[in-house]
Structure 1
Amino acid sequence: MKASCFILAGVFACHAIADGGYAKNCRNMTLVDLDDPHVGLKASCKVGNKDQCSILDLWQCYGTDNGILKPQDKGNLPRCRSCKLDGTVLECECRTDRKGRHHTSSVDTNDLIVNDNGVLKCFGNRATTPDNCAQKQSSGCGSNRSLVTLGYALSFCGLALIWV
């Protein structure tokens, strides 16, 4: 009985901390270049029966602690480079020390970022909704869907064809 209470308390605590979940009603998530060195998350999110495109500066949402990505209001991601997005997982090469060494770190953006009436938001930081949002090009640093994701999709299609 006590064990089940602890498990339930842990589930509720995790749910309270991770209030994100934008992926359930947003699509076309990709990284875009903002003012150097900032990187933005672009997505089209549902608001009523329409979609709204917005771009959230990820430096407003994440920071690093000894090279480990973590949620942080107005973080310090400029210590990271070569960021890419695989689904909702942000992966970057982040500096671990003053000597400039980097290692790969990742965080699931869906755990923090929310859809606030069609606009992406983390902490109190709301995304912008520029007129040219939908035309804003993907970042040149490997932010498009990864080859791993493409491989899974192709494998699934292959299995579907075999099944039929």
Structure 2
Amino acid sequence: TQQWEQDAQRWNDQWQSIVNSHRSRLGLAQVERVRDYVLTERPWLACDPSLGPWPSDDPSVFQTGAWLLPDPNPLEAELEAFLQAGEPPVYFGFGSIRAPGDLSRAMLEAARALGRRAILLRGWADLGAALDEPDCMVIGEVNHQALFARVAAVVHHGGAGTTHAAT
């Protein structure tokens, strides 16, 4: 159908020159339709079975689990000091989701209602930009694997990588 052809063209537009450049360096033949080359008869599903189980009696898909590499980056000294200064805080991060201006204040108040401090990931919503409170730390990019093990709760946007790091 026309939709499948358009999809195949999008794959080519995005990846064909990159794929074929690497293949040329390896002495391999060029790929005419990237989608046909990449998608196999038995696709791999890179999703944690606890979050998105595939029926075990369906052999048409191979579920691998999530593909995440360990993040060796340490937490910044200021964040370490905040974590060590009291009980584990609540982490809030909405990644690429835009948010209303008062959401940061609502998050901080929710943490306070639980008797907790808060860590707000700035993200694309620029959360916490106006907050200057001793019980709230606003951070940029962070090693979720290292941080999530040290917080009381994780409130986030549901992205695949963040969800896996939080499990």
Q: State the TM-score bracket (shorter-chain normalisation).
A: under 0.3
More helix by share: 2
More strand by share: 1
**Which of 1 and 2 has higher RCO (CA within 8 Å, sep 6+)?**
1
Q: Which has the larger radius of gyration?
A: 2
